[in-house]
Structure 1
């Protein structure tokens, strides 16, 4: 019983609010909040989000990351970002005391709407079709934010009084290795007994996330056309060899690296993702000729427990061997530039009480055993586990096409997520 109401009745109330959940997710998608470093454009969405919390009777705190004292001196602060008109939003449903507290956290910023074109569904339409909500950020991760809000709203609307405090947190600047928004919340003192990050985990409960580091690898060329008989250096040929080597690197790592227990079933647990590639003038009227340079952006991912020093040592040892065994690359070696930050891998114990709590709630809601595994992506979860007292797990909805055209999130997953969060909250925080 929950304040005289059966938990099953609360879940039925959430089922009845399905339409409201869908419309809230659509509305969030319809307010663009693209991150385009060093700037971001989350203000309108965050102000809308703050007003929704106020309507629910929650206390609301809006603050930009750079308003937090001494944040720029923190070792985890990523320099070079601009935070004018980019507020975090943290709201609180205060408990009456004696119960455990929880933070439901997520990021409002999204990747840009590019690459274009999108299909029949535009990036900011929030179109609903065949049980999917389309638009930039629906999957990553406005659907998760909407589910968190609706879980708390269902509890408030039902008149359920909790012992522990519940925080709803929406941060800016998570994309592109950001994490300063999440860091600002921790440094401002927002802590709890546990946190749930509703990133897009396809309803898997994830006590661990991978890490990554992005490198820009550049080869220089002899630009122009060889009209006088010279023998120019074309960097594209050398880069083709590096690309093949990076593909081999992925295979070698997956074959030889001892698998982390939470990634045993992952078909590609240590991906090496080539994310960008450029050579020559890409504008339609750019000069035709051998490119002045060719570069790519690659982001190898790593298991929890891997330090940045260990990763750098492995990566450069491999690349040094590639260069030293190829005459062309020895004559024209690549340069390397670290981009963004080392997004650290992180994990909490597989048997941590918050993991067990969400597992129990998921089974109650669905009648199925929960899938517990490592998240197949890096994110800002490491800020919680390394720089605060609040342990965090990742648990969010399913969908597809994150950072790509025609991104979408499943409506039924949002509903399951909302119910599971609500059931977790009332048991974790306890009722008065």
Structure 2
């Protein structure tokens, strides 16, 4: 039976086993990882279900039943990993799960199979304790967070989220507490011209020139949108990320496509931002002869912010010194997105992000998605202890 003395070995074993499964996104292929994790959670005493969300892609939904007279606590982690990239830049096999110098190496060890293992073993410890909690402990391990969040979207679309009083996302934070993240709006802009020989400027319409002017207008419009300074997040940003156009040097390009990454803060309303971007493109018709263009949203995630004075945050902070050796005060905000944004589209639930993976939030140094990714075994142990104690405190 799982107990505190065996928890370290179990979290190391589970992390290594998950790292060895190549759940690379794209295409995902998370089903084998989901089946392995579901088997372990069932062995811990959870009711488990493997829910297929697409071909060879699946979520794990596991529940440890409480008495039903208190709110549930959910842990949400993802099973997919980004590609390893150029293998010559790795000093180890990215899918071997090697252990050295107190670390587990491999793609996904930090982001975030180590976090998934820690939350699962913590749940196993709670089940093994025999304590009957008031509320349910729900563990979801999902597909697709590294791209379109197909797994969490699938779960949210099919479940009301009623009765869930708190959510923990074990993303990489080096065990620091995160209570806010920026929103995300990805835009695709297309401009259309008329092709001709490059010397026939009087006949052709240059789609790239129209795109350049349009992007200047979009950036100007974005910078005019007001916002309230956020205590946990840096100011909103715009990144003109890609631009593709033209087919030949001696031809006037008749099409150009650009993508833009906007990162709003919680005080900025997404519908107003999207409307302003549409107005910027529509306004080019009166500024450029023959202008034809369009803009569309290709990815959107709402920001989230949990009240730092909430009982959930205070509970987590109170456990920091004894379980993690950290005060967890003040908490942090992050500029990247997690699946917290997907839950926020349906219901406002107090949510924290805290995980064993490597991310120095003070210096903005992130180890995930890089060669020779690793997670410290000491951090896996501490995260497991924190998740266990938080679950007991929340559900008792």
Task: Please give the range of the TM-score, normalised by the shorter of the 2 chains.
Answer: 0.7 to 0.9
Relative to structure 1, the CA distance from residue 146 to residue 405 in structure 2 (aligned partners, 3 Å threshold; closer, same or farther) is same
Give the C-alpha shift of residue 350 in structure 1.
2.0
In the alignment, structure 1 residue 414 sits paired with structure 2 residue 380: yes
Relative to structure 1, the CA distance from residue 100 to residue 335 in structure 2 (aligned partners, 3 Å threshold; closer, same or farther) is closer
Comparing 177-186 and 359-368, the one that deviates more: 177-186
Counterpart CA distance in 2 for 1:238 and 1:404 is 35
- The match for 1:197 is 169
Cα pair 2:73 2:391 within 8 Å, conserved: yes
- The match for 1:278 is 244
Give the C-alpha shift of residue 307 in structure 1.
3.0
Cα pair 2:281 2:294 within 8 Å, conserved: no
Give the C-alpha shift of residue 301 in structure 1.
1.2
- The match for 1:42 is 30
Cα pair 1:216 1:336 within 8 Å, conserved: yes
SS of 1:87's partner is strand
Counterpart CA distance in 2 for 1:407 and 1:212 is 28
Deviation string 1:195-254 (CA, Å, 9 cap, x unpaired) is 21222344332333321111112344666974xx4346665566566677777788x479
- The match for 1:345 is 303
- The match for 1:155 is 126
- The match for 2:338 is 379
Deviation string 1:153-202 (CA, Å, 9 cap, x unpaired) is 33345x35242321211122334343553452563456432221222344
- The match for 1:396 is 355
Cα pair 2:170 2:354 within 8 Å, conserved: yes
- The match for 1:105 is 76
Counterpart CA distance in 2 for 1:317 and 1:127 is 53
Counterpart CA distance in 1 for 2:195 and 2:85 is 28
- Aligned positions of 1:236-385 closer than 5 A: 252=223, 257-263=227-233, 266=234, 269-279=235-245, 293-316=255-278, 334-340=293-299, 342-370=300-328, 371-385=330-344
Give the C-alpha shift of residue 274 in structure 1.
4.0
Counterpart CA distance in 2 for 1:306 and 1:168 is 32
TM-score after normalising by structure 2: 0.79
Match of 2:144 among 154, 173, 176: 173
Counterpart CA distance in 2 for 1:133 and 1:271 is 35
Relative to structure 1, the CA distance from residue 320 to residue 182 in structure 2 (aligned partners, 3 Å threshold; closer, same or farther) is closer
TM-score after normalising by structure 1: 0.73
In the alignment, structure 1 residue 58 sits paired with structure 2 residue 46: yes
Cα pair 1:208 1:375 within 8 Å, conserved: yes
Deviation string 1:332-370 (CA, Å, 9 cap, x unpaired) is 565323213x21222332222211111111122234320
SS of 1:262's partner is coil
SS of 2:165's partner is coil
Cα pair 1:35 1:41 within 8 Å, conserved: yes
Counterpart CA distance in 1 for 2:94 and 2:370 is 7
- RMSD of aligned C-alpha atoms? 3.7
Deviation string 1:289-327 (CA, Å, 9 cap, x unpaired) is 656544332220112243331121343456678x589x7
SS of 1:309's partner is helix
Relative to structure 1, the CA distance from residue 276 to residue 31 in structure 2 (aligned partners, 3 Å threshold; closer, same or farther) is farther
SS of 1:397's partner is coil
Deviation string 1:53-91 (CA, Å, 9 cap, x unpaired) is 1221221122235xxxxxxxxxxxxxxxxx234332111
Give the C-alpha shift of residue 330 in structure 1.
6.1
- The match for 1:21 is 11
Counterpart CA distance in 2 for 1:242 and 1:128 is 51
